[in-house]
Amino acid sequence: MKKTINYNDIYSRLENLDIFDSVKVLDIIDSSNTYAKNIAREYDRAIVIAKAQTSGRGRVGRVWLSDFDGCLMFSVLLKPNLSLDMLSFLSQIAAKSLHQSLAHHIKKDATLTIKWPNDIMLGGKKISGILTESVIDNVNRPVVVVGIGLNLFGRLPDELAEIASTIEAETSYRIDTVDFVERFVLDFFREVSLYEQLKAVDTRLIDYINSVFYLADKEVEVDGVRAICRGIDFRGNILIGDSVISSGIVEENRQ
Ligand code: BTN
């Protein structure tokens, strides 16, 4: 039997939440992030779910592989009441919500971690990535799109086998996707609302991320400098040796 994602049930559950002005499930688009940015004039809060993408995008200009059935791909559009310098932490809020909602479904013996800034790792392999993009609307309000790709099942290309995987391949079961998406959305908007109120990062979030931090105590390399990773600080910056780094590509030293 061909395994599929139950998009009708995801749609109904999200419609019932009363969070979004618009819930869209689309058969094939270029990228749900691009689509979400294009509808930002019409809606303040929307979620765009793509069954397939022709130009799925990843961080730092990478391509996100979007042509296998078992990848859940969606983008959340929001207009948070935050200053521009506070927007980058939204990505890490999304990673925390993603981790927490997945942890509810994944048995405790499987190691589910967050790799800074916002990859979700299972058994040491990437199962999910987040691409957060922001623009300013015509009244100077931030428009943010948080795009998520989650590998549920299916076959990834052989060249990715070392670094990426699916939930099914790592655990031999499939999670309840409808419940997962609902949990993610509720937790994400709860955390965003708290962040808007506090106008600061809640230390509880930093503690959570550090407690499931994939790179902790590992030797990593950034900009040619190798050192031991000490987790993240109170702003979400990564701590590598004596360096504090706010953005960039951190390579794990696998030797
Ligand atoms: C990364 O790990 O580099 C981030 C990957 C983000 C992929 C998702 S799939 C849904 C949304 N639409 C896109 O084009 N990208 C994000």
At 99 the pLDDT is 98
Query: Using the 8-state DSSP alphabet, how is residue 197 labeled?
Result: H
Overall residue count recorded for the chain in this entry: 255
Q: What predicted TM-score, i.e. pTM, was given to this entire model?
A: 0.95
Query: Using the 8-state DSSP alphabet, how is residue 171 labeled?
Result: H
Burial class (CB in 10 A: 0-12, 13-18, 19+), 65: middle
Q: How confident is the model at residue 142 (pLDDT cuts 50, 70, 90)?
A: very high
Q: Tell me the average pLDDT across 71-99.
A: 96
User: Above 70 in pLDDT, residue 2?
Assistant: no
What is the residue with the minimal CA distance to atom 7 of ligand 1?
149
Does 73 contact ligand 1 (Cβ within 6 A)? yes
What is the residue with the minimal CA distance to atom 9 of ligand 1?
149
Contact in structure between 238 and 249 (CB atoms under 8 Å): no
At 251 the pLDDT is 85
Does 117 contact ligand 1 (Cβ within 6 A)? no
Q: How confident is the model at residue 214 (pLDDT cuts 50, 70, 90)?
A: very high
> Among 131, 144, 214, 247, which is best to mutate for testing ligand 1, by the most ligand atoms less than 8 A from CB?
131
Name the 3-class secondary structure at 16: helix
Lowest mean pLDDT among 9-13, 49-53, 63-67: 63-67
- Locate the ligand 1 atom nearest the alpha carbon of residue 148 and give its number: 8
